[in-house]
Amino acid sequence: MFALSKGLITQMVKKEEFYVTILGLDDAGKTTFLERVKSIFNDSIMPQPSKITPTVGMNIGKIDHRRIRLIFWDVGGQAELQTLWDKYISECHAIIFIVDASNEERILESQEAFRKIVAFDRVSQLPLLILFNKCDHKEKPMIKENGKECTTNLEIFRQQLAETRSEDDNYGELAIMSISAIDNLNVEKSIKWLGEAINRRYISEA
């Protein structure tokens, strides 16, 4: 009887798992973002940014958010690793694409990488979160409140996504936010949006 009761309780509290792929160029701040997310939702200590090394291959992180468990795949953004992105896209339930908002010279490179991502058929069906990171940057803050740079770059990414969608598609939800993983700006907000989007996409339809 005890074993049966324990099994029922375990089943009741078990959270449904969803996989989220974190993509973007190298040095966009993907790993720092993931470490910040874990520190917020797992109540853990975030490593010093100087001790966070670039991802070669993949990092994995897990958090619980309300009724679901999110498992993050932080995939390296170096050019030679981008050829593997499709393998993670084919298995995930949602995508986070991170852009280094402080590096104007690599915005075009980020746009090209994003164009390759949205070219995959199933991407339009997934919740998609685009994050402009490093908005704490003091010298070249690309993202400004009501700034021209912000509007221009956001619209380019929106247009790239729109070009891949037809009128008959059942789209996944889309959000674009400015964040700072180091200063903890909008990080919790972005994950809460993602969790709710996943809930609406997969659990509400169950």
**Binding site: which residues?**
24-31, 55, 77, 133-136
Residue 36 tokens read as 């910040």
Handedness of CA 118, 121, 124, 128 (dihedral sign): negative
Name the burial class of residue 107, with classes exposed (0-12), middle (13-18) and buried (19+) by CB atoms within 10 angstroms of its CB. buried
Annotated binding site for Mg(2+): 31, 55
Q: Is 159 a catalytic residue?
A: no
Handedness of CA 100, 102, 133, 164 (dihedral sign): negative
Distances in whole angstroms, Cα of residue 72 to Cα of each of 21, 23, 58, 114: 6, 10, 10, 19
Q: Which of 11, 78, 159, 160 is catalytic?
A: 78
Q: Which residues are designated catalytic?
A: 78
